[in-house]
Amino acid sequence: MARSALLHVMTQAAMKAGRSLIRDFGEVQNLQVSMKGPADFVSNADRRAEEIVHQELSRARPDWGFLMEERGVVEGSDPQHRWIVDPLDGTTNFLHGIPQFAISIGLERDGQIVAGVVFNPAMDELYTAEKGGGAFVNDRRLRVAARKSLPEALFGTGTPFLGHGDHAGYLYELRQIMGETSGVRRMGAASLDMAYVAAGRLDGFWERKLKPWDVAAGAILVREAGGFISGMNGAKFDHEIGDVVCGNEFMRKALSDQIALAERKRTAAAQNG
């Protein structure tokens, strides 16, 4: 597949950062025997990868700004363009030696995501998409799964954890969706979950209150693979808000309907005391 100059810049930055992460991943696996060190080590690995991405993209497009997980907002002189970067999506997996993590780079133009790259260096899988150009993994064209039966569907999700999210509300959603489908997977890296929807490995994915760098690249992967994406209750998807429901046209609606049903059940339970 011949990539555009823009995607070439993005993929080169992601792959260079990926080589840094893989070196650090080998080291962090050796740190698991110790109670000291791994968390600090991983945060350093994260910052190294982000610095690589920042340098590579700044060299190619010096006027463009950034929204980065570690650095935050970096203003550019071109107000139309902004890179949205997560240098290590799946930090907890990385910390525990689980090879499910990625570098995620999205490009925002006038507030819209127009290109995205998600690279899992541990699996050597490079997902790319550009508006109007389709979605690919390692140069193979992607299409979302065609299933239209909830009992056959496999969904991905992100779960609340210590100090984050609405645990009680999420359990209603999980109970509802578990009872209607063939399974739910929580793999710990939203950008890869959305890439898996684009690849047809998952029939859909939902999660609340993600950050822009978690979803920017994944969103365009899903759309360019023929999928649909929204916020909760069918709201228009907004990467700044970060609520995600996605899949093929049928599955996105069916998943959204199940989430809404779970919300109604929770409300009824609260009213009944």
Domains of the chain, earliest start first: 5-141 (3.30.540.10), 150-271 (3.40.190.80)
Give the pLDDT of residue 59.
Answer: 97
Give the DSSP per-residue string, 64-103: EEEEETTTEEE--SEEEEEEEEEEEE-HHHHHTT-S--EE
Question: Cα(17)–Cα(27) distance, rounded to whole angstroms?
Answer: 16
Q: Would you tell me the crossing angle of helices 5-30 and 38-60 to the nearest 10 degrees?
A: 160
Listed as ranges, residues in the chain with pLDDT below 70 are: 1-2, 29-42
Q: Binding site annotation covers 240? A: no
How many contiguous H segments (helices) and E segments (strands) does the chain have?
Answer: 7, 13
> Sign of dihedral through CA atoms 130, 136, 141, 142?
negative
Distances (CA, A) of 124 to 33, 58, 99, 247: 27, 24, 11, 24
In terms of C-beta density within 10 A (0-12 exposed, 13-18 middle, 19 or more buried), how is residue 142 classed?
Answer: buried
Inter-residue contact 45 to 38 (CB < 8 Å)? no
The pLDDT value recorded for residue 30 is 64
pLDDT, position 121: 98
Tell me if 69 is assigned to a ligand binding site: yes
Distance CA 170, CA 52 (A): 36
Integer angstrom CA distances of residue 222 from 35, 63, 68: 39, 28, 22
Give CA–CA dist 78/75, Å, rounded.
Answer: 9
Question: Would you say the pTM of this structure is higher than 0.75?
Answer: yes
Instruction: Name residues whose C-beta falls within 8 Å of residue 203's C-beta, 6 or more positions apart in sequence.
Output: 145, 147, 152, 153, 154, 155, 197, 247, 248, 251
Q: How many residues does the chain have?
A: 273
**In the numeric block, which tokens belong to residue 19?**
């080589």
* Token output for 235: 């709201």
Find out whether 51 is annotated in a ligand binding site. no
- Under a CB-based contact definition with an 8 Å cutoff, are residues 204 and 250 in contact? no
Report yes or no: 257 and 264 within 8 Å, Cβ to Cβ.
Answer: no
Q: What is the pLDDT of residue 29?
A: 63
The answer on whether 214 is annotated among ligand-binding residues is yes
| Ligand-binding site membership of 86 (annotated) | yes
**What is the per-residue pLDDT for 85?**
98
